[in-house]
Amino acid sequence: MQQLALTRHPIRLTSIGLTTLVAAGLIAAPVLVALLTGFFTGGGETWSHIVSTQLLGYTWQTLVVLFFTTLLILLFAVPTAWFVSLYDFPGRKVFEWALILPLAAPGYVLSYAWADITNVAGPVQSLLRDMTGLSARDYWFPSLYGAPGLSFVMACALFPYAYLTARAAFSNLSLCTIEAARSLGASPARIFFQVALPAARPAIFAGLALALMETAADYGAASYLGVQTLSVGIFRAWHSFSEPAVAARLAFLLILIAFGLQFIERAARGRGGTQQTATRWRTPRRRTLDRRTGLLVTAGCTAVLLLAFIFPVSRLIWVSAETGLGHGQILRPFLNSLTLAFAGSVLAFVLALTVVIGARQNRFSQLIGRIAAGAGYAAPGIVLALGALFILSWTSFSVAGPAALVFLVWIYASRFTAAGAEPLSAAFSRAPASLGNAARSLGANRFQRLIRVDLPVAMSGAAAASIILFVEMLKELPATLMLRPFNWDTLAVQAHAYAIDERLAAATLPSLLITAAGLGPVILLSLQLTKAGESRAAG
């Protein structure tokens, strides 16, 4: 109570602040437990072994992957978003939503497919050898195994985050800004680089940061492609060395990197702020590109879509068709995936809402909410699962029992609340504070304001948030791998188990099903965002 007395409004802190505090605690507990246990348990010989031989390598590999992923994401996301938002060219309406589709396919699934396409016995190299008569030793061919390959796969899987934020930012550019620039004789290129890009930079960085944190936390693709990132190292410390404490220490480094990313992102937002006129804004009128440029842009968008989605998914379908379906169970894992993702999204959504609303009430809640959600998101699923395991081992719950299911839902929520809080808070911030005050003056209490004003106003953001949560949880692998109750194989776990057992054909069906399950929500999200953009343009 001491601190509370120091602040000016004890009444508010106790109600909203306490709720936020509880939510933040729920979100942050697994990370904190994992880290604290890591630091207060001796790592012993294994720790010094890892520090002397592996640590630098893990960190370096992670940074290299992040670097290349950044380049590729910017390359994939920004030009496509720019042309889709402001120009008309053949196929624009299709690309507008189709470029979001890769969100449905997890990085590890893309890595199975792309590894199969590009490996030495795969269709591309076989064709190359057949056509040229060369032997495999006579030419160099880029290998997917390694940091650049992993970066490529992760960029394919995650660039839509940056594409979405960039597209929103470009569409929100005020008409005046662009017309003013045009009237001053600026070429389209100059408008892009000197007007649009600086204005959209914070948004692009926000999407990029989201994608990069996912990349840093990835386990499935990195382990499949044999890239020794920190995430893989964490798994290895736990598996090969049976040293959860060492794993937790490695996790701390990963979290540092993720917080570094967040810091850079905040710094990039800068003081300039975004262009926002609270009441009304108009999307600039699209200009039709001339024939040649138009076709060029169409080709570019097509290439991105082929690389990130169509090629890999087609390859999986091909392999699956070639070898026929196994006699494995698929319905239960499918339903399990849906159930878990659904339960997780509901909890994460409630937590995200609590955090976002808390943040609107006072600074203190905003701070703890943001830190907790950030820490959860920054921590890879493995670390959170590790924390949950530590907690489980203190309690009398069985890891194998249904308690693990609840823990898994909790871990999902802890991991992804930030991903849900982001669009929610964006939607809330679009509503001016005077709305809340107006509602208060009309006698609506806090709960009524939430139900009658905040939620409906934030509806579009809330829908986007829940869809993103659902899809991300559908794809979640490492935490599920460590925590799932035993009869609760999910599609992700099944795909992973088959793939690492070198049975790609068996892995294709669960892989395709995850993608298919995610595709529906992603298309929904896509249409919703596209429609929102259009109605905005009309108003």
Partner 1 sequence: MSDLIKKFPLFAVAAFAVACSPSTPASESASQEGAAETESAAASDSKPESGGTLRVYSARHYDSDRLMYEAFEDETGIRVLYREAGANQLLQTMKAEGARSPADLIIASDAGALWRFEDAGLTQALPDGEIEAQIPPRLLDEKRQWIGLSQRVRGVAYDPERINPEQVDEWMDLADPALEGEICVRSSTNVYNLSLMGEMIERWGADQAQAWADGVVANMARDPQGGDTDQIEGVAAGLCSIAITNHYYWVRMAESSSNSASEAAEASTLIFPTFGPDTGAHVNITGVAIAAHAENKDAAIKFIDWLYTPHGQALLVDFTKEIPVNPEAERPQGLDRIPEFTDSDMSLSVFGEHQAEAQRIFDEAGWD
Partner 2 sequence: MSDHKSLRAIGVSRVYDGKAVVNQASLTLEPGKITALLGQSGAGKSTLLRLFAGLEPVDAGEIRIGDTVLSSVSKHVPAEERAIGLIFQDFALFPHLNAIDNVGFGLSRMQKTARRKLAAEWLDRLGLAHRAKAYPHQLSGGEQQRVSIARALAAQPVAILMDEPFSGLDVTLKSEVREIALDAVKEAGIPALLVSHDAFEAMRDADRIAVMKDGIILQEATPEYLYLKPTSLPAARALGPLTSVARKDMPDTWKAQLPEAETYCLRPEALRLVHEDGVAMTVVSSKRTSTVIELELQLNDATTISAIGIGANRPAPGDTVQVALSPEFAFTLPADSA
Shorter beta-carbon distance to partner 2: residue 395 or 445:
445
Q: Identify the residue among 179, 290, 501, 534 touching partner 1 (CB under 8 A).
A: 501
Q: Are 161 and 207 in contact (CB under 8 A)?
A: yes
Residue 233, classified by CB atoms within 10 Å of its CB into exposed (0-12), middle (13-18) or buried (19+), is buried
459 binds partner 2 (CB under 8 A): yes
How far apart CA 473 and CA 337 sit, in angstroms, is 8
Beta bridge partners of 88: 288
How far apart CA 218 and CA 220 sit, in angstroms, is 6
Contact partner at residue 323 from partner 2, partner 1, none, CB < 5 to 8 Å by partner kind: partner 1
127 binds partner 2 (CB under 8 A): no
Residues 6+ apart with CB under 8 A from 327: none
Write down the least CB distance from residue 117 to partner 1, Å.
13
Nearest of 31, 67, 46 to residue 152 by alpha carbon: 67
Contact partner at residue 456 from partner 1, partner 2, none, CB < 5 to 8 Å by partner kind: partner 2
Sketch the per residue contact string, 467 through 486, with partner 1: x for CB under 8 A, - otherwise.
--------------xx-xxx
What is the per-residue DSSP string for 139-200?
A: S----SSSHHHHHHHHHHHHHHHHHHHHHHHHHHS-HHHHHHHHHTT--HHHIIIIIIHHHH
Write down the least CB distance from residue 536 to partner 2, Å.
9
Span from 8-16, 153-161, 333-341, 404-412 in contact with partner 2 (CB under 8 A) = 8-16
Sketch the per residue contact string, 141 through 180, with partner 1: x for CB under 8 A, - otherwise.
--x-xx----------------------------------
User: Token match 């992923």: residue?
Assistant: 69
Q: Are 26 and 410 in contact (CB under 8 A)?
A: yes
303 binds partner 2 (CB under 8 A): no
Write down the least CB distance from residue 247 to partner 1, Å.
11
Shorter beta-carbon distance to partner 2: residue 194 or 437:
437
Residues 6+ apart with CB under 8 A from 423: 461, 462, 464, 465, 468
* Size of residue set near partner 1 by CB under 8 A: 67
Q: Are 479 and 385 in contact (CB under 8 A)?
A: yes
Shorter beta-carbon distance to partner 2: residue 53 or 279:
279
**Residues from 325 through 344 that contact partner 1 (CB under 8 A):** 326-329, 331-332, 335-336, 339, 343
* Size of residue set near partner 2 by CB under 8 A: 28
How far apart CA 163 and CA 152 sit, in angstroms, is 16
Residue 202: CB atoms within 10 Å: 18
Shorter beta-carbon distance to partner 1: residue 276 or 398:
398
Which residues of the chain form contacts with partner 2 (CB under 8 A)?
Answer: 8-9, 11, 278-280, 431-432, 434-435, 437-446, 448-449, 452-453, 456-457, 459, 539
